[in-house]
Amino acid sequence: MKQILIHEVGPRDGLQAEAGVVPTEVKLDWIRRVADSGVDIVQVGSFVRGDKMPQMADTDDLFRILAKESHRAVLSGLVLNEKGLERALEVGVQLICMGVSASDTHSRKNTGMSTEDATRRIIATALEGKQAGRTVQVSVQSAFGCGFEGAIDEARVMDIVSAYLEAGLTSISLADTAGHAHPGQVRRYVQKVLELDPTVEVTAHIHDTYGLGMASVYAAMEAGAKAIETSFGGLGGCPFTKVAAGNVATEDLVHGLQRTGKRLDIDLATLIGVSKDVARYFGRDLPGCVYKTGAILEKRTESATDEHR
């Protein structure tokens, strides 16, 4: 595996499923700490209507505040439509994320559009974002299965990927929205995308709904995925799927990578501290493991440490 990029999505995917609204100042504290921990990207929020999803109502304000600061991580935002793109451009989002669900049922519940209509609209919006000089990532949601429809035809997923590639969109995320993915399937899908175009930057967004999250993440990395999307404490889950459950925990993945000498540049203690604070704020245990158990600290030789500095 080459160097794996970590895309922290807790401030968006983690918080969007919560019933209560986290105050902006609390979000800022969590975002700042994670953004300075050494992870590569932090997803600050989603540009949706505040009356529809009050948890994300302060996304514009968050970006305006954070844009005045200097952070180690790139800050990303999720966009669902043209209006969302307009807002993202206005507040200077560095990485714009958007996607289409391979499940027609999930697509209609999430966006009010069929998969076919959503694909055309998102590609046009993504190209507009690129023309504005922004980096754009597009995703295939419900790529590995749907809580409403069950199995999703592999060809349907690859048709959306092919449409992205034909439009010149080569940063592509495969999202396990319903948590149905298993390692063999994830490995095969990542390999198939890279067979279509070896230059694609593949990201895997895996949920741990049925306990196969970390195994599927490792399968994605071994198959050639460049980035993994995770959430602090494993918090989150799509509110528009049938069984909303958490993501793979950021600190769990970083801990696993560091045990094999990878991503030693990330401050694991900071990530664990954020997850502890998030759990304390919500007054419950989160799905993640390492923030509760603590990290396994291993003695490393000086030469091995220097190699990863």
Residues with a catalytic annotation lie at 238
Residue 77 exposure: Cα atoms within 13 Å on the Cβ side: 31
The number of residues in the chain equals: 309
CB contact at 8 A, 182 and 209:
no
- 23 burial class (0-12, 13-18, 19+ CB within 10 angstroms)? exposed
User: What is the residue whose two structure tokens read 């092919």?
Assistant: 162
- Compute the radius of gyration of the chain from its Cα atoms: 18
Distance CA 133, CA 127 (A): 10
Q: Which residues contact 57 (CB under 8 A, 6 or more apart)?
A: 21, 50, 51
